[in-house]
Every structure is written in C-alpha cells, then in structure tokens.
Structure 1
C-alpha cells in the first residue's frame, strides 16, 4: 500500500513542472537532488549549465537548494530527471528581453574564450563577437577569461537561442555621454592642452580631453606649412585655441597658431621705421611684391618702390624666393601692414658710393679747387640722364 502511494506521488509529476530541491550528492557527470519524494531526482551534467562544463562540481556543491524543472519521468524505474539549465533559461530570457528593450547595462564574467569572441553565462549562453569586445583591436583574448565586463544586449532571438552581447557598445555610450558633457563645457576662445591623434593632408586631429578637434593646416603655424608632419607628430602635446564648436555635427575647429604669440607681437619691437632689413620675396602681384621681413610678417613693396627706373611689372626685377634688402617706410600695427621700399635702399647705396668716390677723388686731387658739391652736382646730372 505504501509503495502504491509512493508510485502515485511519482506519477503525479508532469514534464515541465518546476520543483524545489536540495543537492544531496555531486558526482563528476551528474548530481542527485532531493525533491521530497521516494527517489532522488537525477540532474545530468548536460542539464546543469547552458555552457560546457567538465564536471558538475564546477557549478554545484552538496547542500545547495534551488529550483529545478522536470524534464523526464520513467515510471517503471521511478526515475525523475530534472534540469537546472531549463529553469535558469526561462528566468534568463525574460530578464534578457527586458534588458534588451530598455538598453540596460549589466555585469557578467567571461566564461570562455572561443574562436571569434568570448562566451558569457547569462543564464543562457551569451556570445560577445571579437569586434564588440573593445573599441580598439585586440589580438589576444586569453586574459579575458574570468574577467567581468559591463555589457549590453545587441541581438536577441529566443527561438534560435541566440544572445549577442557587446562591451564596445557600453564603452561607446560612455564616450558619447562624456563627449556631450565636454561639448557643453567648451568655450570659443579658450586655450587648452591636447594630444595630436592623427595627421591628414589637410590638418591634424587633436584630442582635447575625450573629443577630437581639427587644426587645419592653415592654423598649425604663423608660418606657411606645406604638410602637417613638418610641424607636429602623432602623440605630441600641443596648446590649441578653440575657434568654433558645432555641437550638432560634433565638430570642433582648433588653432595652434592662435594659442601662441603672433608674429606681429614678437616682431614689432624689432622693426623700426627707417631701418633697413633683409627679407624674402614671397608673392608677386600686379601692384607690387610682398616681402617677409620676420617669420610670418610680410610687408608690401609697392611697384613704385621696387626700382629707380620705370617697370611694367614686379616680375621684371624680382622673383619669388629672392633675398632682398628693404627699407621700412611705415608700420600700421592696428591693421598689421608694413610699407617697404627696395628703391630707397638702392638710392642710399648709390649715395654712399658717391660720397666715397668723391672723398677718394678729393684726396687724389687736393688743392685743385674742386668741391664735394661740384662733384655731387655732376653725379646727380649723370644719374638723371
């Protein structure tokens, strides 16, 4: 009679039922679970975890209590097979679907490193593709096993038992959040320190604390720059001034030259009206020539100030890159303009040469009644002819 009652109790189970149980024995390939009936239920190793495990003891210990699902009943042998994995999966899928819909970030430990990425136990088998582990390329993932990562669900398919996770998405969200906070703090005109991240033909991208800004090639230096690598290298620490912030398009325009004293500031104290300085012809235009008299400082030699004789164009006398001596006629600091003359330098040279010639002539013809004025007059007429 007692045996019939026990059998009746066993037969009252149905596949799919959930029961509370206590682990009573742990073997390598299975565990026995007390679910309150005559025979202890069997928990096969394949039903312990959604991930591959070598032995049951890696996951369970004797005395643990938890919920199981009945997956098979053998009435003839009074055997009941239960699954921990099935219960975990039900809870996991409900939890994962909520996390996916809400974009929740959660922590999970890497269970294994496999070809193409990482495996994570999230109640079911979760997979992190290699491209979604970090924002940068990772060559060797061996150090990731056992490491806890913050993750987001990026793809979910319950029917196919597919769970795709991403750590990179979490990092990118954090970066975007920091970027927006930084954009709110940026002020046009502020001077900051940054790090050169990469160079292009048109300029240099500089990291100013979590966001990159562009220093156009024209803003790298007060002097003319042919290519950015002539001025900076990747990794250089540089000072930059914020020229423009476009938060909508996430673009920042920066200037290195504006963060440094300008050539006018450094050169004005050295340039004096009336002085003669050396310079380089930078540009020829129809009305004259622009000559660089200090790094980044150019002055105009009007066509009328190029030569003693009449010329139709500056190119008749000058060429770009030519070294010349010029006299500073005027400095307009407010408008950053300098007026220069090559002609007056040449005239002064001729006057000095004339004076020297007269002095030598008088020394050679002393007492003959010829004065400096007489000789200058003759030379003046000669110059005019």
Structure 2
C-alpha cells in the first residue's frame, strides 16, 4: 500500500474537513487538504444550485469547509454543498417553526416555479409566487422576494417557500388594522372596486365596505354604473362597522349636498314652478319641483273649487304648475298651491275682459261723438 493510500484510509465518509483551493477547473475544484493527494470537489457538489462552471463560485486560495462524500483508490471526493445544507437545516427548521418571513433572491426560473438559495436549493412553486396569475416568470430572475417556508422535509431534501402567503398575511394584518380604526360617522375617501346589482364595494385601504344602491345618491338610482365606475375615488361616510363579520356599511349619499341644501337660495315664496305629481294622499298631492325636492299641495290648494279627493283632479306623473307658498330648508318642507295660480289666472282674465270692455265702450263713445258733431 502506498503512502497516499495509507493517508486516505485516515478519512471516513461523512468527515468534515477544511481545505484550500489550489486549482479551479471547469467541472471540478482541486483542494489541498493537508495530504499529498488533493481532494476533488465536482461541480455538482459545489452548490445546491445549478452553476455553469466552477469559477462562478470559487477561486484559488479560497478556504472551504467540506464533507467527505466518497473514497476511491487514491481519490477523495468532497462536497461543499453537503456542509452548506447541513448548516442551513438548523436555521431553516427554526424559521419554519417560528413562521418567520425573510428575503431571498431568485436564482433560477424553472418550469413550474422559482429556485432560490437558502443554504440549499429552495423552491417556490408558481402557484405560491403571487396572489394573482403570472403568465411569465422571466422577470423574476435576480429579483428579491419576501418569503416564508411552507414545507420542510430533511429526508427528502425539500424546502418549499411561498411569497403569496406573505402577501396574504400582510393583507390580513392591514385589513385588521384598518377595521379596528374605523368608527361610525367617519368620512373617508375610498376607491370603487366592484359594481353589483345591489351596490358598490369600496376599498378603504385594505378592507372593502359596501355602499348599498340606496346610499349612492339622493335621487333614485336604477343601477350603480349610472353613478360610479370601477376605479373612481369617492367620499363615503361609515354607517356601521361589524368587526366580527368584517362588514362595513357605507353611504355616499350622506357626503353629498342634499337636494334641500340651500333650497331658499334656489326657491323663494311666490315662485311659480313646474313639477311632477309623485304621490297622491288623502290630504293632498306631493309634487317634485326639483330633483329630490317634493312639496305638498294641500287638498284645499288643489283647485279653485271644492275637491273631495286629489284623484278627482290630479294623477301620478302629471305635469303641473304650482306656486310656492312657503319653503323651509330646516324642516325640508315646501307648501305649494295650484289654486292660487288658477285664481290669479281668473283674475287676470277678468281684468283683461274689463279692459277689453272699457276699450270697446270708449271706441263706441268716440264713434257716437263723431256722429253727433256732424249734426251740430
């Protein structure tokens, strides 16, 4: 047995030793381990990741900690990646147990996901990269992502990570933070996320609230898209917060000037307006004179004669002219009259009749006067 052979027998598979790189070849590295026979580190044992050539990772005079993988005759096959992996398992297990979030760089984009270096080869499946679908992962190479370990199996040498879970956790935390900060009566700005048949969902900065269709505007809204669009920034008031069920009711209507706001600047006592009969009740008729503003024509003010029921004279949808008797913004009330307009019309017609009579009488006198003068 040769001297080198004697020396080799002093090593056992699994031993950890230190060596200095003496030569870097394309597919392997030669390491001085203190004996005549240099140790060989094949490129496949240099890293847990794929590398094209050994010089991508090490250079001459680097000191490496290595594990004996195999002994064949005068050759000792060594592994750097086995040592790196063993070192990493302890920290990875702790990280997994503590549900830690850490940053890692994407080293490779492969079919089905992304490969990272976490001391050994870690894998982020495509389904765990983002909360949304990604068509092409090419741009992710060399990008840093925050991740957490979702599956760890030392026997299988498997490390599965997720960026999606980190994003979802952050979203959940933000949601709770916002939810706890909301109070009834608060006025906030939000972004319209979704339109439905019953209203719109508005993002308040991490959590959605619902503006029911009846709370979109002061006037009746047929469909939400008549008032808002996705992506619109709108101001809303919080009507209620149900923290247990994470439900928030909102109103856009309450933040808008009401139809009665500054009504006295737009409508004054004595004004004549045109309106639409909206409702008939036993004591009169409600007439809409402005959008969202209805006034009451009391039954006694419907016509210039006795009226038994409003239906005798008016019908819903009918266009009518009304005179404003009184208006109050505070009480959101307006008194209207059709009768006064009829009386004024009759008075005007009578005056015109009298005027016409006077004119015709005057003309007759002139005519008679002219005739009389001829006989003088």
TM-score scaled by structure 1?
0.83
* Pairs aligned (count): 363
RMSD in angstroms over aligned alpha carbons?
2.8
SS in structure 2 of the partner of residue 324 of structure 1? strand
- Give the aligned partner of residue 130 of structure 2: 134
Q: Deviations over 1:7-31 (max 9, x none)?
A: 3432132222222222222211111
Alpha-carbon distance change, 362 to 64 in structure 1, aligned in 2, over 3 angstroms: same
- Within the candidate set 85, 88, 92, 2:88 is matched to 92
Q: 2:185 aligned with 1:198, yes or no?
A: no
Q: 2:24 aligned with 1:26, yes or no?
A: yes
- Give the aligned partner of residue 374 of structure 1: none
- Give the aligned partner of residue 79 of structure 2: 83
Q: Deviations over 1:36-66 (max 9, x none)?
A: 2331211112222222222222222222223
Cα distance in 1 for partners of 2:107, 2:312 equals: 77
Cα distance in 1 for partners of 2:336, 2:80 equals: 92
Alpha-carbon distance change, 7 to 316 in structure 1, aligned in 2, over 3 angstroms: farther
| Conserved? CA contact 1:278–1:325, under 8 Å | yes
Deviation at 1:111, TM superposition (A): 0.8
Q: 2:114 aligned with 1:118, yes or no?
A: yes
- Within the candidate set 312, 319, 335, 2:316 is matched to 319
| Conserved? CA contact 1:273–1:330, under 8 Å | yes
SS in structure 2 of the partner of residue 82 of structure 1? strand
TM-score scaled by structure 2?
0.85
Structure 2: gaps spanning 5 or more residues: 365-376
- Give the aligned partner of residue 278 of structure 2: 282
- Give the aligned partner of residue 66 of structure 2: 68
Cα distance in 2 for partners of 1:36, 1:328 equals: 110
Q: 2:250 aligned with 1:259, yes or no?
A: no
Deviation at 1:193, TM superposition (A): 2.8
- Give the aligned partner of residue 59 of structure 1: 57
Q: 2:338 aligned with 1:342, yes or no?
A: yes
Cα distance in 2 for partners of 1:253, 1:310 equals: 46
Cα distance in 2 for partners of 1:43, 1:25 equals: 11
Alpha-carbon distance change, 78 to 262 in structure 1, aligned in 2, over 3 angstroms: same
Greater Cα shift, 330-339 or 96-105: 330-339
Deviation at 1:303, TM superposition (A): 5.1
Cα distance in 2 for partners of 1:12, 1:357 equals: 137
